[in-house]
A = this chain, B = another copy of it.
Amino acid sequence: MSKSTPHKSALKEKDGIEQPESIGRESVAQIIQSRKNQPSAEELISGILKGDKTALSRAITLVESTNPKHLEKANQVIQACLPYANNSVRLGITGVPGVGKSTFIEAFGKFLTSNGKKVAVLAVDPSSTISHGSILGDKTRMEELVKDENAYIRPSASGETLGGVARKTRETIILCEACGFDSIVIETVGVGQSETAVHSMVDFFLLLKISGAGDELQGIKRGIMEMADAIVINKADGDNIKKANFAKVEFNRALHLFPAKSSGWQPKVVTASAITHDGISNVWEMISEYLNLTKENNYFNERRQDQNQHWLLETINEQLKTNFFNHPEIKSLLETNKKAVQNNEISPFAAASILLEKYFKP
């Protein structure tokens, strides 16, 4: 509110314009200020399509907003951007903390921009609302990339549910693509459910590992290794090179035990160093090889189609659950029944029947 008092406005030069008496100076300043803060959907759309990063940031803020008014406007912008989206490669990058994701993404991102690519880096971290820190929050961790005019870095969307975060990230991808970014990098911290969500929105999923770490540091959620299209053994420099090469052999052997992927792609293991930049270009060459293969056999397009259908159904499922579990009567009945199941007084299925009966036939 204090922002709207005239003397604080950055738009004082409008003072000279004659105003109808019914509109106070303060109101005018307020309106101007609010217009300044909230460009129209049309302004945002044209800005994004021109490649304007400020318009992009504002549109993403709209997408991330929980205000219902913003939601409508956000949908309008997304709708208009859709025909200009899709023309990109979407990369998921995961790895446990300490594996060097930020430095790797910086080195990899700089490699891409120096090869004429436009890179957007997003993050999915549903835990950030709990930990009050987002994995990309500290932008200074990517000092070089942040200053690069062909790069755009957006910290983690916050949200209470993974579904909410995923939705915002998916829509942010569309906006970034419409803004001309042809390489979308989505970072996720390798400790939770978010990897599966990210895997469902990218073309290529890359798992970062380091060699010579104990089992604990290597500990990655079950199933993530199987989702990976490639494993990059990071920090393959100095004394680590030998260990990294050994790890490469080990992981390659492990990957071969998994069955062939429906993409026709055999997951690869490469070594890289974000410090010496060794192997960084190999990572891109490998991704290019993957893109050639999957565009050739049409897996690339089919997968994107499948992902869209997946998100349609996933959003519905999540909303159905939210509606059910937030129903006041169900909430208390659920607690009672959970306890009864725990005490072996009722089978889980009989308990479910009671709850569903209550919900559908109140």
Residues of A within 8 A of B (CB): 75, 78-79, 82-83, 85-86, 167, 170-171, 174, 215-216, 218-223, 225-227, 250-251, 253-254, 257-260, 305, 308-312, 315-317, 319-321, 323-324, 337-338, 341-342, 344-353, 355-356, 360
Contact = CB atoms under 8 A, between A and B. Distances in A.
Chain A interface, DSSP helix/strand/loop, else mixed: helix
Contact of A342 (B167, B227, B308): B308
B311 A349 contact: yes
Nearest to A226: B222
B223 A86 contact: no
Given A78-B347, A259-B222, A319 B171 contact: no
Contacts of A324: 316, 320
25 contacts: A75-B350, A82-B344, A82-B345, A82-B347, A85-B344, A86-B344, A170-B349, A219-B259, A220-B259, A221-B259, A222-B223, A223-B226, A226-B226, A250-B257, A251-B257, A253-B253, A254-B254, A308-B341, A310-B348, A311-B348, A311-B352, A312-B338, A312-B348, A312-B349, A312-B351
A312 B79 contact: no
A360 B323 contact: yes
Contact of A260 (B219, B319, B323): B219
Nearest to A347: B78
A350 B259 contact: no
A347 B309 contact: no
Which of A85, A219, A320 has the most B CB atoms < 10 Å from its CB? Answer: A320
9 A-B pairs with the lowest CB-CB distances in the bound complex, closest first = A315-B352, A219-B259, A311-B348, A312-B348, A320-B320, A222-B226, A254-B257, A308-B341, A308-B348
A6 to B, nearest CB: 39
A223 B220 contact: no
Contacts of A258: 222, 225
Contacts of A348: 170, 308-312, 315
A331 to B, nearest CB: 13
A353 B75 CA distance: 10
Contacts of A323: 360
Given A259-B219, A260-B219, A323-B360, A349 B309 contact: no
B83 A350 contact: no
Contacts of A345: 82
Contacts of A83: 344
A158 to B, nearest CB: 17
